[in-house]
Structure 1
Amino acid sequence: MVGIVAAIRESVALTATSAVFLLVLAIPQIVSTCMLLHQYEVQSGQETVEVAWQANNMDALQQKHECCGKSSAQDYVHLNQLIPPSCYADLQQTTDHLFLEGCIEKVQSFYESDKQRFIIVSWVLVAFELLCFVLAVFLAISFRNKQRRLQF
C-alpha cells in the first residue's frame, strides 16, 4: 500500500520507504530459502506407508496416489488376502485397472516433488521481491530527478 500511495503522490520519501520494506521482506525470505528449505528433510514415504499398513488404513493412500500395497499388489497375495477395491482405478476390480506400483515409491516421489515445488515457489517469490525493490529504487530516483528538473 505504501508503494501505491508513493507512486500516486510521486513522493521520493515514500517510494524509498517502500523499497526498504521490500528489501526487509526479501532478506528473511532469502535466508529461510537458503538455510531451512534446502536442509529440510523430506518426509519418509516408507514410514508413512508402514504406519498406514500397520493401522490397516491403506485405502485412502492407495486411491490418492494410485498405488497398491507397500511395494506392489503382491503384498496382499503374500498375506493370502484379497486385493482391496482401492487398488483399482475407479474401483473397478478388473486386472487392467489394477495399480501396479507400490505405495512406498509413489508416496516418496510425491513428498520429494512437493518439496521441489515449495523451493521453486520460494525462489520465485524472492526474485519478485527483489525485482520490486529494484523498480522502487529506480522510481524513487526518477521522482527525485523530476523534482530537481522542476526547480530550474
Structure 2
Amino acid sequence: MKKVFHKIASFCMALLVLLSTVSFTVDSHYCGDILVDSSLFGHVETCGMEVNKQSPLPECNISKKDCCSDEQQSISGQDELQLTFDKITLNQQLFVAAFFHSYNTLFEISEEVTFTLNDYPPPIIVRHIYKLDETYLI
C-alpha cells in the first residue's frame, strides 16, 4: 500500500511540474456575443461574416462595423526552475549532505543480534514440579 501511494504521489508531483512549466494559448472566435470556435493548438475557424477591411475601389468609402471578434488568451508557464546546480551555497550543500546521510541510515537494517541470556545460567532443578502436580483420572 505504501509503494502504491508513493508511486501515485510521484506521478502527481511530476504532472504538477510539467503543467506548471508548459505555456499555451487559447484562440476564440466570436460572432457578436456567440462563441463560434475555440482552439488550443491551431487557428480558429471563422463564421464567414468578416468584413473586408480594404475596399476594391478607393472611391468607395462605405465602412461597416464588423460583428466578429477574435480573442487570444495566453497562459504562460513558470520559467524559474533551477536546472543546473552550479550555484549551490555551502549551507545548501551541508543540508543536502546531512539529509542524504540521515535518510540512508533511516532504513539501515541492523544485523547484530545480542543474546542477554548467555550471562545468566539456567536454574538448578531439584525436583520435577510438573510431575508432582500431575493428576490422572482413571
* Shared fold per TM-score greater than 0.5: no
Which structure shows the higher helix fraction? 1
User: Is the radius of gyration larger for structure 1 or structure 2?
Assistant: 2
Q: Which has the higher contact order (CA 8 A, sep 6+)?
A: 1
Which structure shows the higher strand fraction? 2
Please, what TM-score do these two structures have when normalized by structure 2?
Answer: 0.29
Please, what TM-score do these two structures have when normalized by structure 1?
Answer: 0.27
